[in-house]
Amino acid sequence: MRKSRFLSFMKRLQEGGAAQRLFLLFFFFISLSFFSFAKGNPHPFPLKSEFQEVSLRADAKSMSSITPAIQLSTLVASNNIAFDSSRARLDRFLKILSDTLHAEFGVAFRDLSSGLEYSFNPKVMMHAASTMKVPVMIEIFRQAEQGKLRLTDSVLVQNQFASIIDGSPYSLDLADDSDEVIYQAIGKKLTIRQLIEAMITVSSNLATNVLIELVGAKNVMNTLTELGIQNMLVLRGVEDGKAYQAGLNNRTDAYALMQTMAAIAEERAASPIACREMIAILKAQKFRENIPAGLPDEVVVANKTGSITALDHDAAIFYPPGRGPCVLVVLTRGIAEHKRAHQTIASIAQRIYKELVNPDASVSSPF
């Protein structure tokens, strides 16, 4: 009877949360002390001879199962306490940084090996800027797998698009874009793969709009819904002024964007082969001044940035040496100077890496 009660106690100790473990252990020691004094024993814990007597009577098989349970419970409790401390430090760091810069942050982190997550304002919706190009890429690869298109197909590059408000035409201005190569191809044909690479690695808006007209924004949204991602909205192409004035913008929160990147990293967004191709494209990213700048040089990073007036974002899958990948998303709003925003995102990435991934990592200051 006592043994079964003890085993039941150890099971509850192993399965409970950190607070419950502390309460159970406190209750256990108080009960043990009361029982010992009630028997006239001034020592609340058995002496060596008493331990020997108990061990002789104990069932060896039960004790062998209890010992790992105690060790596992202790390890889990220790990890929970350590994570709670890291969470508190990160919360404090981000709150101070936000107050100092008079800016808003949305942060979401997931260790894909352990499932550990950390977030700060993860559900605050912001303009997605160019991070919305990631789900567009996913949709293209999925349509290729469905036989609707081939990545080697050639597409005519045109600089005229229809507003989602009334169908009226609009065009893009090179001065507001980040890649002139695609503009040099206007009136010519490029492969879908070339357009994808331009859309992701140099964040070409023109390539993006050509591809969205090809696969359809509604289809991108349907794919996000199928993946269980609810708060990422891809409604239109870039620079649709009438839609912007009407408040119909591409939007996301940090958690939804983290889910999108995780779907690629975990090879759920499309077939494993397609996801690996998408990761390879993300690894070729030219803009590395945000999350990658805050991580150690040996960490491989696959990322997509986004930037408009007073908004800078980065979404990354990163691969620490000797372990599985992690996903980190940092959204910022309210920092007017892009360089300062880049430094801020890098600083946040650095702090999260040291707190949650590798406390002993050597990372140079991004400032």
> In this predicted structure, what is the pLDDT of residue 38?
42
DSSP state string for 31-51: HHHHHHHHTT-S-SS--HHHH
CA distance 172 to 154: 21
Q: Residue 196 corresponds to which tokens in the numbers above?
A: 């994808």
Dump pLDDT digits (tens) for 50-59: 334 334 344 4
Domain at 103-357: CATH code: 3.40.710.10
* pLDDT tens-digit profile, the chain (367 residues): 444 554 454 455 455 554 454 444 444 444 444 444 344 444 444 433 333 433 434 444 444 444 544 454 444 445 555 667 899 999 999 999 999 999 999 999 999 999 999 999 999 999 999 999 999 999 999 999 999 999 999 999 999 999 999 999 999 999 888 888 999 999 999 999 999 999 999 999 999 999 999 999 999 999 999 999 999 999 999 999 999 999 999 999 999 999 999 999 999 999 999 999 999 999 999 999 999 999 999 999 999 999 999 999 999 999 999 999 999 999 999 999 999 999 999 999 999 999 999 988 765 555 5
Rounded distance, CA 281 to CA 134, Å?
11
- Domain extent listing, the chain: 2-82, 103-357
pLDDT score, position 212: 98
pLDDT for the residue numbered 16: 53
Task: Write down how long the chain is.
Answer: 367
Predicted TM-score (pTM) of the model is 0.78
What is the DSSP-derived secondary structure letter of residue 186? T
Which residues are CB-neighbours of 222 under 8 A, at least 6 positions away?
none
Q: For residue 12, what pLDDT is reported?
A: 53
Are 316 and 328 a contacting pair, CB within 8 Å?
yes
pLDDT of residue 41: 47
d(CA 282, CA 296): 18
332 SS3 class: strand
CB 111 within 8 A of CB 252: no
pLDDT of residue 56: 36
Which residue in 160, 161, 202, 200 sits closest to 181, CA to CA? 202
5-40 per-position pLDDT tens digit: 544 544 554 555 544 544 444 444 444 444 443 444
pLDDT at 225: 98
